[in-house]
Structure 1
Amino acid sequence: MNKRRQRIMLLVLSLITIGFIVLSVMVGIYPDMPIDLKVSKEIQMHQNPFFDQIMYLISTPGYMPESVIMVATTALIFFLFKYKKAALFVLLTGLSGLLSTVVKALVNRARPSESLVRIVYKTAQQSFPSGHMMFYVIFFGFLTLLMFQLENIPKALRYAVGFISILLIFTIPFSRIYLGAHWFTDVFGGFLLGILGLSILSWLYLRKRADKQEAPVAETK
């Protein structure tokens, strides 16, 4: 990556960081924003048992212990197929849960209440940012990156994993709002924090690949 691209990337990440900090302060001071209620009502307009099941299914990989099992299993698969570096970094995506928990405690925003929205599935912890949104961006985003990088994996499998990962990233915000678990600003905050986490993780993973492709025992077969 040349210096100009590095400067642009740093500028973008700096703006995202500032945006997240500003949003965190705003929801801390004004936890009940009109835009949140408006978006929730729009998304929850079309409710039926079928949508309830679909939206819950989309969110399932982000719950405990499903998320831990998924991360550990995915890392184990990469490790068994000799992609050791990928396995390590997949494990690191699990740290998103710790980060979101810390930020939730700092902002301390309450979950949407039943007096304002329909609660399909009750959840614990604070509301901002959405841990699901953050985890999906980091875990499935990094999985998509790996599918572009590890060319020795069968093409059909890489495309399938990449498609499902991107689909889950784009549908999880609707799922969390539909289920009444989060406000719009919660998932937007989770997206911003997820982008920051994914950018750092991806940079750490890719920084040496420009000079030397990983040895067969590490990432290629």
Structure 2
Amino acid sequence: MPRTPKYVKKINSVLLISGLSYLAIYLLVYNKFLAKFDYYITKTINLIANPSLNYILSFLSLFGSAEFCLAISFIILFFLYKRRKIKLASYYIFFSLFLFFFECIGKSFSQQPRPPLEFDHNMFKFGILHIKAPYSFPSGHMLKFTFVLGFIYYFLLNNVKFYKILFLISIIIMAFSRVYLGAHWISDTIGGFLGGIFVLALFAKFYSPTFKEGSGKSFRYKL
């Protein structure tokens, strides 16, 4: 995508807003200001819990798992390699690793405990790469899901409005599923979303296509 002044200004705005918003909610979580709000939201959502919804949302939640995001990442890297977008692939790998450390640091410093087991409705408690950390902020599912889906939407699907709607709907469903299943508080999912957007904005800020990857001003990231 051409790095016009308008483009750079937009990326800087997203970077600043998402970064400050993440920091704000982190401070609220760290100082326990959202504890009662989190509990109220989880308890309210728990009122609609039923076996059918448990299975549906447990399945949908898998799309934010480390295994699924890793599989999608391999597919993304394969297509980028086939299209000779080596620089874009390299940046994707770097920022994916950065995302992992971002999550670990967030959980280590926030030390927000997960919801009690009474709210646990997750029917699929398995995973090759699944390690349930004792702390829940930010939500790893939301962080990874936002980053991977955001990358596909922004870099590969040319920022098309229709895909933007699908992106937002998918984010809302993922956030709701994590709270419904008792895996996270609502503040965790908001933090995960903001963190994913922040890292994605960093990606967009530092990445610029090489001449071989683009074709002048009309460059498009196409699979």
- The answer to whether the superposition gives a TM-score over 0.5 is yes
Q: Which ranges of structure 2 fall in alignment gaps of 5 or more residues?
A: 126-130
Q: Which has the higher mean CA deviation after the structures are superposed, 180-189 or 119-128?
A: 119-128
Q: Which ranges of structure 1 fall in alignment gaps of 5 or more residues?
A: 151-157
Whole-angstrom distance in 1 between the partners of 2:164 and 2:92? 15
* Superposition CA RMSD, Å: 3.4
2:128 — aligned with what? none
1:105 paired with 2:108, answer: yes
Is contact 1:90-1:139 (8 Å) kept?
no
Return closer, same or farther for 1:52/1:10 CA change in 2, 3 Å cut-off: same
Is contact 1:68-1:94 (8 Å) kept?
no
Shift of the alpha carbon at 1:175? 0.9
1:202 paired with 2:209, answer: no
Is contact 2:63-2:69 (8 Å) kept?
yes
Whole-angstrom distance in 1 between the partners of 2:163 and 2:41? 30
Return closer, same or farther for 1:167/1:26 CA change in 2, 3 Å cut-off: closer
Is contact 2:12-2:205 (8 Å) kept?
no
Which amino acid in structure 2 is aligned with residue 146 of structure 1?
F
Identity %: 23
Alignment of 1:66-215 (within 5 A): 66-95=68-97, 96-115=99-118, 117-120=119-122, 124-125=132-133, 126-149=135-158, 165-205=167-207, 207-208=208-209, 214=214
Larger RCO: 1 or 2 (CA < 8 Å, sep 6+): 2
Whole-angstrom distance in 2 between the partners of 1:26 and 1:160? 34
Secondary structure of the corresponding residue to residue 113 of structure 2: coil
Which amino acid in structure 2 is aligned with residue 33 of structure 1?
A
Q: State TM-score, norm by structure 2.
A: 0.76
Shift of the alpha carbon at 1:19? 2.5
Which amino acid in structure 2 is aligned with residue 143 of structure 1?
I
Is contact 1:58-1:172 (8 Å) kept?
yes
